[in-house]
Amino acid sequence: MKLARTIFVVLVVFILQVTAIHKMAVAGAIPDLLVVVLVALVLQRGPVVAVVIGFILGFLQDLGNASYLGMNALAKSILAYGISRLGSGLLPEHVIYKGILIFAACLLNDVLLLAITTSCSLGEMLYSFFRYSILSAVYSALVGACIYALLELFTRRVVRSRGGY
């Protein structure tokens, strides 16, 4: 049941990313919801499972842009491996740290994608990085932190003084 719910959430987020999220653009930058989902799914997983999840999410994103097929799959796989290694017990369970992790993941994702799409042209990479990537990473981190805060708020259990929930 949990796998079906995860697949449903991934598909809904993918559809939102492809169709509606561009309408939320701020100065040309849009949040990368797939990175937010990637962080949520691989944070407490092992590296092998994380890489598979990253590859699947990246491949879904690649289906929207066939000219660079495999680029997002590679970038998301590398990100997933790094997040699973870094996030396994090293980061405290707090919304701010998850937002910082999403920010760093978005920046690394964009650096990997820019290196491929610009053929490592330093001028183009730096222009795109400072023009779009930083704002997009901040935007994604804020959206992700808000989502984590809402999930924490709705899933929090209150323990009574005599035990029980």
Q: Which tokens sit at 88?
A: 């396994």
* Band of residue 163 on the pLDDT scale cut at 50, 70, 90: low
pLDDT score recorded for residue 148: 84
- Distance separating alpha carbons of residues 148 and 126, to the nearest angstrom: 31
Taking CB atoms within 8 Å and a gap of at least 24, the contacts of 82-85 are 82/108, 83/38, 83/39, 83/42, 83/43, 83/50, 84/42, 84/43, 84/45, 84/46, 84/47, 84/49, 84/50, 84/51, 85/47
Mean pLDDT calculated for residue range 108-123: 87
pLDDT at 133 over 70: yes
pLDDT score recorded for residue 88: 64
Mean pLDDT calculated for residue range 22-42: 87
pLDDT at 158 over 60: no
pLDDT digits (tens, 9 = 90+) for 52-98: 999 999 998 888 777 778 898 999 999 999 888 887 666 667 788 88
pLDDT at 113 over 80: yes
pLDDT at 156 over 90: no
